[in-house]
């Protein structure tokens, strides 16, 4: 998709040609183009789209664009667009909208739909219930394969997925699942009960979204049924919704690893004061943490005055401590997040990390010793080399241990990465470096 050419057409107000070129692309690409426009142009281009295409594109717009368009178009247009959205996409849209937009939508929705919408909006934000859809294919075990296929043909257009069907009893209790593939290859007269799978992987409405994502990944599912506490089928979660969950969770982890508060808006649209509020608290905390580095320097003032050339290597050494710690921390945080390791594996991983850190430290010590000999003298080179070995070992140990400690305390291990590990490793690096120098030079 040539965005530059489309923007040129918009700038020259060649709207007919713009829409003609735009509608040749996938709905997601059209949505991406509209998201790049300012409020006035995004509304204009959206309203010029054919009605059917506009309804499909709407689901791919970011919340800011959806909100602006929703507030500018009339209620009939808004109602027509929302009618084309799958129910879970409609819920996602409503969760992001201002209260006045939600009221407009609920006012024009049938009573039965209003009840469902309110029920979904009341599920906890991170629960399976908040992202499930009610648009699934349900069958009865007494049906024949031919009857099931006929029902699927009849309702397929109004269902988000038809590749997995769910078998329920008269009280909506989940009894089994059957894939469209199994239905197609089965004999028409066979009963659903004969071909359905009774071993079912399911979630409940209050399960955490990350747990559901793990289930879908583990069992390689296209969709997972969601039941209430009495095992009645109330919805399904499809893999495309889980991809969004994984993306959101990864974004949160990245923000935490950078010691930034949760940011759930587009950075281009974010208010500077909002960004300051999210970033400032940790920066202030780290200021006071880093005071300990200054205290360490003050404590070893006599050592520094006696061997002034030690100062030259200080940034190199403390940065190495922070870098080694950040590497170890990032590896551990990711391993914990993926479930490759758990809290009980700390000792086993510590032994491995010590071996790795020692070898890394030796290689880095050799490199920094050469610099020490060239820049200063042999004694300083020895101190710097010994310090590098100790600092890399200490930084790596801190980096791999902090995520486990936070996990033991039921805190998010991602918090241990980035600036926090670097600051702690820096303080330790200063103390270790000048302690070794003081010992070596008998100061």
For residue 174, which of 183, 184, 165 has the smallest C-alpha distance?
Answer: 165
The Cα angle at residue 63 between residues 59 and 66, in degrees rounded to 5: 65
Structure confidence at residue 111 (pLDDT): 63
CATH of the domain at 109: 1.25.60.10
With a cut of 70, say whether residue 108 has pLDDT above it: no
Structure confidence at residue 420 (pLDDT): 77
Last residue of a domain, one of 252, 284, 301: 252
CB 132 within 8 A of CB 235: yes
> Helices (H) and strands (E) in the chain — how many of each?
21, 6
d(CA 320, CA 357): 12
- The pLDDT tens digits for 321-359 are 888 888 888 888 878 877 788 878 888 888 999 999 999
Residues 66 and 90 grouped into a single domain: yes
Residues 248 and 383 grouped into a single domain: no
CATH of the domain at 231: 3.10.580.10
Residues 161 and 231 grouped into a single domain: yes
- The pLDDT tens digits for 218-264 are 888 889 999 988 888 988 998 888 888 877 777 777 776 666 666 76
- Say if 132 falls within a structural domain: no
Residues 290 and 391 grouped into a single domain: yes
Pairing outcome for strands 223-227 and 203-204:
parallel
Task: Identify the H or E element spanning 238.
Answer: strand 233-238
Least confident of 107-116, 310-319, 390-399: 107-116
Q: Within 13 Å, how many C-alpha atoms sit on residue 299's CB side?
A: 15
Structural domain that includes position 35: 3-122
Residues 20 and 107 grouped into a single domain: yes
d(CA 345, CA 347): 6
d(CA 40, CA 62): 15
Those residues with Cβ within 8 angstroms of residue 289's Cβ, 6 or more apart along the chain or in another chain:
423, 424, 427
Question: Which residue has better confidence, 54 or 73?
Answer: 54
Quick one: CA torsion of 186, 189, 194, 199, rounded to 10 degrees? 50
- Say if 257 falls within a structural domain: no
**Is the whole-model pTM more than 0.75?**
no
Last residue of a domain, one of 252, 285, 301: 252
Structure confidence at residue 182 (pLDDT): 93
Structure confidence at residue 101 (pLDDT): 66
Residue 20: pLDDT band (50, 70, 90) is: confident
Number of domains present in the structure of the chain: 3
Burial of 428 (0-12, 13-18, 19+ CB in 10 A): buried
- Say if 260 falls within a structural domain: no
CATH of the domain at 374: 1.10.357.20
Residues 289 and 319 grouped into a single domain: yes
Structure confidence at residue 115 (pLDDT): 65
Question: Which residue has better confidence, 165 or 92?
Answer: 165
For residue 51, which of 76, 18, 14, 26 has the smallest C-alpha distance?
Answer: 76
Question: Which residue has better confidence, 111 or 39?
Answer: 39
The pLDDT mean for the chain works out to 83
* Residues pairing with 133 in the sheet: 236
**DSSP 3-state of 268:** coil
């Amino acid at each position: 998709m040539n965005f530059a050419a489309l923007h040129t057409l918009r700038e020259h107000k060649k709207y007919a040609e713009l829409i003609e070129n735009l509608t040749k692309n996938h709905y997601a690409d059209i949505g991406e183009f509209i998201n790049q426009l300012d409020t006035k142009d995004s509304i204009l281009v959206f309203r010029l789209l054919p009605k059917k295409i506009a309804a499909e594109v709407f689901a791919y717009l970011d919340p800011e664009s959806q909100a602006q368009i929703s507030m500018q178009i009339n209620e009939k247009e808004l109602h027509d667009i929302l009618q084309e959205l799958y129910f879970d996409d409609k819920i996602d849209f409503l969760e992001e909208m201002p209260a006045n937009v939600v009221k407009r939508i609920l006012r024009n929705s049938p009573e039965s739909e209003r009840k469902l919408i309110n029920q979904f909006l009341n599920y906890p934000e991170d629960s399976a219930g908040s992202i499930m859809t009610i648009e699934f294919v349900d069958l009865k075990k007494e049906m024949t394969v031919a009857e099931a296929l006929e029902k699927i043909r009849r309702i397929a257009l109004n269902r988000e997925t038809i590749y997995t069907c769910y078998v329920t009893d008269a009280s909506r209790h989940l009894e089994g699942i059957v894939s469209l593939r199994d239905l197609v290859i089965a004999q028409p007269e066979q009963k659903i009960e004969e071909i359905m799978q009774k071993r079912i992987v399911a979630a409940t409405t209050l399960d955490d979204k990350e747990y559901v994502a793990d289930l879908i990944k583990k069992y390689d599912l296209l969709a997972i049924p969601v039941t209430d506490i009495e095992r009645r089928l109330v919805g399904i979660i499809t893999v495309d919704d889980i991809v969004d969950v994984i993306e959101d969770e990864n974004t949160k982890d990245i923000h935490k690893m950078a010691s930034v508060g949760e940011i759930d808006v587009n950075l281009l649209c974010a208010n500077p004061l909002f960004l300051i509020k999210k970033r400032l608290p940790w920066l202030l905390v780290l200021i006071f943490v880093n005071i300990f580095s200054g205290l360490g320097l003050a404590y070893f003032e006599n050592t520094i005055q006696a061997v002034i050339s030690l100062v030259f290597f200080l940034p190199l050494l403390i940065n190495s401590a922070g870098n080694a710690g950040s590497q170890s921390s990032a590896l551990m945080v990711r391993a914990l997040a993926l479930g490759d390791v758990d809290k009980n594996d700390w000792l086993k991983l510590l032994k491995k990390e010590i071996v790795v850190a020692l070898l890394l430290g030796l290689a880095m010590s050799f490199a920094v010793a050469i610099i020490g000999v060239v820049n200063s003298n042999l004694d300083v080179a020895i101190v710097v080399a010994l310090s590098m070995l100790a600092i890399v070992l200490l930084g790596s140990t801190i980096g791999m241990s902090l995520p486990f400690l936070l996990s033991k305390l039921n805190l998010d291990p991602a918090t241990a990465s980035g600036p926090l590990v670097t600051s702690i490793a820096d303080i330790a690096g200063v103390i270790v470096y000048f302690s070794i120098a003081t010992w070596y030079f008998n100061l």
